[in-house]
Amino acid sequence: MKFPKFEIFIRQWGGRSLGLFTALGFAFIYIPIVILVIYSFNLSRTSGVWTGFTLNWYNSLWQTATNQSLDISTVLIWDALRNSLIVGSISTVIATALGTMLAIALERFRFRGKALIEALVFLPIIIPEITMGISLLVFFSLAFQLFQTLTGIRLVLGLPTVIIGHVSFNISFVVITIRARLAELDPSLEEAALDLGASEFQAIKRIILPLIAPSIFSAALLAFTLSLDDFIVTFFTSGIGSTTLPLFVYGMIRLSVTPAINAISTLMLAASLVLVISSTSVQQNAARK
């Protein structure tokens, strides 16, 4: 037996409820971010109390960056940001280079152990990030102990270990992004180059790489954004003098968060949005072509 009125009621209210829950979900995610941006213009040093509008916190960041101010908290913020940029830049270059080669190998060649490598590529995305952070910490501890036993030289955690940690999870995102583009390419283009006498290396260099260049750029932007925002892996792989901005903000939260933290977080948010929008635009333009 059918009930037309009941079905119409379910369709109408079901669609409205879905829209309502979607709006509530987005509000739950983005309202705290909006509050953070608003309080970066707060006149008070206490982030939880609004006393008036000011640009002093951004001005303080600018003065410290131009060596016109020596406020210790702002100096530490810039040091942490510098570490984040160093880690993000180096890890992005390494992950993009290795990820591009790995994506081409997995998509264009057949070899023994391919299924295992594909599973390992997806593993950093599937497993919890805290599990990856702990496993990297254990790995570095055992490797450093073995190196000290063999050479007598003691190694410690620092920026190099943070960079290795970021490369280890960024490679997965690079491979997935570039491989999706490779799957869309017409294989006849590469086959035509091989028929005309080009070697496989020449076909990759002159045909494949120019065609997937937008995807490589997009993958690099994505890797850089993920590296800037990462906290958990960085927390387990960092040492003295290698504090990145997310770690510095976390340390300040346990004491007090000044609007200077909100200001630098707002600037990073703006930079991340630019990178994400640029990555999306590059992918869309590549797909249209």
pLDDT in tens, 128-161: 889 999 999 999 999 999 999 988 888 889 899 9
pLDDT at residue number 286: 59
φ, ψ dihedrals at 273, nearest 5°: -65, -40
Per-residue confidence in pLDDT tens, the chain, 289 aa: 454 554 555 555 555 666 777 788 888 888 888 888 888 888 777 666 777 788 887 877 777 655 655 565 667 777 888 899 899 999 999 999 999 999 988 887 787 888 888 888 888 888 888 999 999 999 999 999 999 998 888 888 989 999 999 999 999 999 998 888 888 877 777 777 777 777 777 777 777 888 888 888 888 988 988 898 888 999 999 888 888 888 887 877 766 667 777 887 788 788 777 777 776 776 666 556 5
Q: Does domain 71-288 have CATH number 1.10.260.40?
A: no
Place of tokens 């792989």: 237
Asked if residue 39 lies in contact with residue 47, where contact means CB atoms within 8 angstroms, the answer is yes
Query: What is the torsional sign of CA 165, 167, 173, 175?
Result: negative
Tokens standing for residue 267: 């600037």
What is the C-alpha to C-alpha distance for residues 24 and 185, in angstroms, rounded to an integer? 40
Asked if residue 262 lies in contact with residue 39, where contact means CB atoms within 8 angstroms, the answer is yes
Query: What is the torsional sign of CA 272, 275, 280, 281?
Result: positive
Q: How many CA atoms lie within 13 A of 196 on its CB side?
A: 10
What is the C-alpha to C-alpha distance for residues 84 and 270, in angstroms, rounded to an integer? 15
Domain borders along the chain are: 71-288
Kindly report whether the global pTM for this prediction surpasses the value 0.85. no
What is the C-alpha to C-alpha distance for residues 123 and 168, in angstroms, rounded to an integer? 10
How does the average pLDDT of the chain come out, rounded? Answer: 80
pLDDT at residue number 1: 47
**Residue 53 DSSP SS3:** strand
Q: Which DSSP state fits 42? A: B
pLDDT at residue number 89: 93
φ, ψ dihedrals at 275, nearest 5°: -65, -45
What is the C-alpha to C-alpha distance for residues 194 and 204, in angstroms, rounded to an integer? 10
What is the C-alpha to C-alpha distance for residues 74 and 245, in angstroms, rounded to an integer? 12
Tokens standing for residue 230: 């990462």
pLDDT at residue number 97: 93
Number of helices (H), then strands (E), in the chain: 12, 0
Task: Please report which residue ranges of 40-67 form alpha helices under DSSP H.
Answer: 56-65
Asked if residue 247 lies in contact with residue 80, where contact means CB atoms within 8 angstroms, the answer is yes
What is the C-alpha to C-alpha distance for residues 192 and 249, in angstroms, rounded to an integer? 54
Tokens standing for residue 106: 């997995």
Alpha carbon 147 to its chain's center: 31
